[in-house]
Structure 1
Amino acid sequence: MPSPQPDEATGFFGGRDFAAVIFDMDGTLIDSTPAVNRSWTTWAIEYQLTREQMSGHHGVPAAAIVAELLPPDQHAAAVDRITELELADVDDVVPLPGAERAMIELADAPHAIATSCTMPLAQARLRASELLAPDVLVTADQVERGKPAPDPFLLAARQLGVDPTDCLVVEDAPQGLLGAKAAGCATLAVVTTNPREVLAADLVVDDLSAVAWQVVDGRIRVVPAESADRAE
């Protein structure tokens, strides 16, 4: 289904504004794909898992992936091992197009990151990317259920002091979008790691360079980047 077209005057979402924006991290704000692939490939080889077994897990916490693929007696060691591998490899981690602009334009507005990484890994990747990170960072080790459950987005909204139904979630993965919708949030998807046809969101764009962020009286509106550029 094609994405709705923005109105020149009101922008995307029919001019609706939001109390806060909650971003996924990997694949949405930063490109960690080379590092992720290296770490998980090494881990899969060590645990004798096939490429087919490893597919379809983007956006899912590492502990949930391990629980799905390995017997219970191996879970603790396997989680420790992938954590070790990922923390040791943050090479090539860079901001994705539009991410730096988003963090600058939203600097004085409520916004957060809700990621399937653990806190140490999220902090390591954000440092490596040199992206200006928001004060609120929700990670997989802070919630009982990770994506596709709504828990990360509900916690982020609570820490921001806003109603989740007044939030916009920005995601790149189907599992994350499921969690955002379960939390009652509006959704914006970027086509950075998954094809457009699998991203069931209110709005789908190629990446964050397609949008700009306007903050008026503490409320956030999403507009086409070219419209904002012309107005400057």
Structure 2
Amino acid sequence: MTSRSKAAIEQIQHTLARKGFDPGIIDGVWGRRTESAVKAFQRSEGLVADGIVGPKTWKALLGETEKIVSADNPAIPWFQEARRLIGVREVVGPGNNPKIIDWAKHTGIDYDSDDIPWCGLFVAHCVSATLAGEALPANPLGARAWQRFGTTCERTLGAILVFWRGSRNGWLGHVGFYAGEDGSAYHVLGGNQGDSVSITRIAKDRLLDARWPATAPKTGAGPLILAANETFFSTNEA
């Protein structure tokens, strides 16, 4: 099971828990309690109780054939760069995280304080660091400027999602990378989310656009459906 993404393991754990099989803490980590819950589920379905979620167990558990989506896909290097930076955090109070300031220097963006919203800077860094020929939008610090980036696309791993913030008809926004979705929210890998690079859930009705780099071929993978999790929504990413 270690070859599956954290999101896929969380999906299995969520579903086991909803069906009454306790996987322990739902954390995306494949541990003994999760394996034991899988075995108990398999026995209840008349399957071989080996604790391995193969095609038959997946379909019995989730009601559909597993869609294999690799978060490690080398065709989306900007998304790999974003994943590598999860946990980078701005400095609270005086001072700045030099890593965030360096993103601006290397991208040629005038930016000198991580107190200024940096979701657009994060996306600009990930794109420019991995796609040398890709043109950034004018004013990449402005989240809504990313609506003019690249080409429009469907929701798929690595797509750049642009959201409104405050008011749909205003100018404030947020931008990050599509990491999946559940019934009511997009899971967004972005910067300046809780003052750090993280994955958070953003309500679907806030989406303005989905964009794809013009110089990168589209993967055709389609949406990545994750287990429902109604525990929180991000409401302010500044």
- TM normalised by structure 2 equals 0.27
- Structure showing greater radius of gyration is 2
Task: Name the structure, 1 or 2, with higher relative contact order (CA <8 Å, separation 6+).
Answer: 1
When you count helix as a share of all residues, which structure comes out higher? 1
TM-score normalised according to structure 1 size: 0.28
